[in-house]
Amino acid sequence: MVMTEQLDKLKALQDILAQKNIVEADIEAAPKILSTQEELLARLKKGYIDKSEQYDLVKKQITHLKAELHEAETMRENSEKAMDSVSTQREYEALDKEIREASDREQMVRKDIQKEERLYAELDEQLKSEESLIKQQEEELNDRKEKITKDIKELEKKLKKLLDEEEKIVPGIHPETRFKLERIIKSKQGVGIVAIHGNVCNGCHMILPAQFANEVRIGNEIMYCPYCSRILFYQESDEEEGDFFDNDDAGSLADLDDFSEEDEDEDDRDDTRSDKMDYEE
């Protein structure tokens, strides 16, 4: 009866410890989820900063190219005006060359400006999109922080309640038994106490020695499965009748001696019959 009460307490403790492990895992996991989102936001911001720097460089390049274009246009226009006052073929050819070079330079610079302006427009669009995404992520992160903070507070309240329940149950349970049960529950997904069916552990499904299974069935002490280390208890079942070895059915040394004497008498009779047959022959 005492052992039955002990097992009942251990089963109740098992339920509390299993719940406690889940709650503690949830408390530990909550900030990790937040950390993942913070890392994502940090990467987005870094990408935005890098793109902003590229955007500024392109903007400066466009300004530089426009100044270069203005210089080329001014040079061409001045050369074209100077054409009206040329007096020699040599002056004409020199001004014509300047006009052609300035025109070629204008065309090349305009192409570079168009290319840079397209890139500038793309970067501007990307920055606007990323600004919107960053803002959205920041709002979601703040909302999640508030929710996680509330969730953690609720989990801590639940944990406190479980700890109070645990303290009410543990008196009368040996500290070593409690320690083993806690360790088993953590390593066995919350299941540290299992029944045996016949002489098979219902936790690891290994076949137990018959004498060991009988000791579990008798229940004089806490028994641990030698294979999975779980605490074992016997659960009555109609289907399990005869699964356990009965010491009475197993026989005794006296029975073994009687059986040996009967065998010796039978052997003596066989020897007598054999001698008689040899004599007759």
What confidence tens digit (pLDDT) does each residue in 219-264 have?
888 999 999 999 999 887 555 444 444 433 333 333 334 433 444 4
CA distance 150 to 136: 21
pTM over the 0.85 mark: no
Which pLDDT score, from 0 to 100, does residue 263 have?
45
**Residues ≥6 apart with Cβ < 8 Å to 132:** none
Which residue ranges make up each domain of the chain? 2-169
Q: Return d(Cα 122, Cα 59) in angstroms, integer.
A: 12
The stretch 157-171 carries a mean pLDDT of 93
Across the range 98-123, mean pLDDT stands at 95
* Predicted local distance difference test score (pLDDT) of residue 3: 73
8 A C-beta contact, residue 244 and residue 210:
yes
At a CB cut-off of 8 Å and minimum separation 6, what does 66 contact? 113
b/e per residue 228-242 (b: at least 16 CB within 10 A): bebbbbbeeeeebee
Q: What class does CATH assign to 2-169? A: mainly alpha
Q: Cβ distance 11 to 90 under 8 Å?
A: no
Q: What is the DSSP letter of 232?
A: E
Beta bridge partners of 197: 200
